[in-house]
């Protein structure tokens, strides 16, 4: 019996075997795991970028405060210049002067500087985890051999330095537990404060 030229014999139906389906699921799972890892890394990088941006904003704000209160900001000792010092959450200056509610108490540039530092450090410590701030006159804010920033100050030079560090994730991914965090071991940013106009 001959088939009509327009009629084709029925094709054999073919499908995927169970093994092929399982292999496809495994391959898809590896791809999804890679995407999850990339998402976690992106979130961590985004957090670090946000903290870095906040620290830079705080450093610029402090520089403007020092320029605005230049009479006190140019003094070279912490005893006369409340902007200078080594500050952490436990060493935020305490003062009864609140220049927002009692302007009579803030009757000198030094008192104004004390209040500004207290308010500024309180906000900074709320935004940056484990923050440390060092403000000093320093002609050598970076280690000469490595170029890395350092906390130590040599109290020389005409430019005040604002050094800010905070607790951040270690760049060494082999560290685990507490070692996975750098707890302000070195400044994360260093910003010079230029004197500004004398008028």
Per residue in 10-46, pLDDT tens?
656 565 677 888 888 888 888 888 787 777 777 777 8
Record the pTM. Answer: 0.76
What does the chain look like in DSSP terms, one character per residue? -PPPTT--PPPPP----HHHHHHHHHHHHHHHHHHHHHHHHHHHHHHHHHHHHHHHHHHHHHHHHHHHTHHHHT--STTT-TT-EEEEGGG----S--TTT-TTT--SHHHHHHHHHHHHHHHHHHHSTT-EEEEEE-S--B-TTT--B-S-----SS-EEEEEE-EEE-S-TT--GGGGEEESSS-SEEEEE------
Does pLDDT of 151 surpass 50? yes
Please write the tens of the pLDDT for every residue from 50-106.
999 999 999 999 999 999 998 898 899 989 999 999 999 888 877 656 777 776 778
């Amino acid at each position: 019996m001959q088939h009509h030229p327009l009629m084709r014999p029925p094709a054999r139906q073919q499908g995927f075997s169970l093994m092929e389906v399982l292999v496809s699921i495994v391959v898809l799972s590896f791809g999804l795991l890679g995407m999850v890892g990339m998402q976690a890394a992106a979130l961590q990088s985004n957090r670090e970028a946000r903290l870095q941006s906040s620290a830079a904003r705080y450093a610029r704000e402090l520089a403007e405060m020092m320029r605005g209160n230049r009479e006190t900001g140019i003094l070279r000792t912490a005893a006369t210049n409340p902007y200078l010092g080594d500050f952490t959450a436990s060493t935020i200056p305490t003062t009864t002067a609140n220049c927002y509610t009692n302007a009579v108490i803030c009757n000198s540039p030094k008192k104004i500087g004390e209040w500004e530092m207290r308010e500024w450090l309180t906000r900074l410590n709320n935004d940056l985890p484990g923050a440390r701030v060092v403000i000093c006159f320093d002609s050598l804010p970076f280690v000469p051999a490595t170029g890395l920033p350092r906390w130590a100050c040599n109290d020389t030079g005409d430019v005040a330095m604002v050094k800010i560090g905070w607790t951040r994730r270690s760049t060494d991914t082999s560290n685990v537990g507490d070692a996975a965090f750098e707890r302000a071991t070195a400044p994360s940013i260093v910003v010079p404060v230029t004197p500004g106009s004398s008028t």
